[in-house]
């Protein structure tokens, strides 16, 4: 199936989305693995989180499935129009590019206060260890996914706190600002398959 029909299809060597990403953001793909990932993740900070493009496409086609915006559409629209996407379309695009660059990467789902599986992110393996990247929440530096304890990450806006649940199956995300700890969402630590991801995307 073509990537335009199924946004989580494995990228082909001649992926237009991959080429667009490398050329538009002038990525140095010959750098070391961590440096390449940092470049890709940093580039995604320049692609805005928005849902207007989804709303417009849904109004045009009338179904959630038809309103999905795949990696090529997201990246080409960004280059041409400055458009962005929702957490699902941004994660699918990032996942596509990272896989095209040769990394092992899988999608994960997350729960927010208003419902389960309402957010998503990506795990990418560096060596034998999974790392979290979440373009929808601007976690763009690959963070080691904690299976126990906590990990604090300073950002220009606040401090992020990843806190593992006791059984290691989920990780809670908090923001810390002026001594105040605010719950944001909960990631699953187990990757989901394409069917689960698309179900959540269309939900």
Q: What is the CATH number of the domain that holds 34?
A: 3.30.2140.20
- Kind of pairing between the strands at 170-177 and 150-154: unpaired
3 state DSSP class of 25 = coil
pLDDT confidence of residue 2:
40
Q: Residue 187 falls within a domain, yes or no?
A: yes
Q: Residue 4 falls within a domain, yes or no?
A: no
Confidence grade of residue 4 (pLDDT, cut at 50, 70, 90): very low
Confidence grade of residue 138 (pLDDT, cut at 50, 70, 90): confident
Q: pLDDT by residue (tens digit) across 20-47?
A: 999 999 999 999 888 899 899 889 989 9
Q: Count of domains in the chain?
A: 1
Q: Residue 92 falls within a domain, yes or no?
A: yes
Q: Residue 75 falls within a domain, yes or no?
A: yes
Question: Which residues constitute the domain of residue 166?
Answer: 16-202
**How many CA atoms, within 13 angstroms, populate the side-chain half-sphere of residue 128?**
0
176 contacts 152 by C-beta, under 8 angstroms: yes
Confidence grade of residue 88 (pLDDT, cut at 50, 70, 90): very high
Under 8 Å CB-to-CB from 11, ≥6 apart: which residues?
3, 17, 18, 71, 96, 97, 99, 100
Q: Residue 120 falls within a domain, yes or no?
A: yes
Under 8 Å CB-to-CB from 42, ≥6 apart: which residues?
140
Across 87-96, 150-159, 173-182, 187-196, least confident range: 150-159
pLDDT confidence of residue 5:
57
Mean pLDDT of 103-119: 95
Q: Residue 71 falls within a domain, yes or no?
A: yes
Q: Residue 2 falls within a domain, yes or no?
A: no
* DSSP type of residue 85: B
3 state DSSP class of 148 = coil
Q: Residue 6 falls within a domain, yes or no?
A: no
């Amino acid at each position: 199936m073509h990537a335009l029909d199924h946004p989580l299809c494995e990228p082909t060597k001649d992926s237009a989305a991959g080429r667009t990403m490398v050329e538009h953001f002038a990525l140095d793909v010959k750098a070391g693995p961590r440096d390449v990932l940092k470049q890709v993740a940093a580039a995604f900070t320049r692609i805005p989180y928005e849902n207007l493009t989804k709303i417009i496409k849904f109004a045009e086609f009338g179904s959630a499935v038809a309103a999905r915006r795949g990696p090529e559409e997201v990246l080409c629209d960004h280059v041409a129009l400055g458009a962005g996407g929702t957490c699902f379309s941004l994660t699918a695009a990032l996942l596509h590019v990272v896989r095209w660059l040769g990394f092992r990467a899988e999608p994960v789902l997350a729960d927010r206060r208003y419902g389960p599986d309402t957010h998503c992110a990506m795990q990418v393996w560096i060596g034998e260890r999974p790392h979290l990247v979440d373009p929808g929440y601007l976690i763009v530096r690959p963070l080691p996914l904690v299976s126990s304890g906590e990990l604090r990450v300073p950002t220009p806006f606040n401090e992020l706190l990843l806190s593992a649940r006791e059984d290691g199956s989920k990780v809670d995300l908090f923001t810390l600002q002026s001594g105040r700890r605010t719950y944001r969402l909960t990631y699953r630590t187990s990757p989901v398959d394409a069917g689960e991801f698309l179900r959540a995307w269309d939900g």
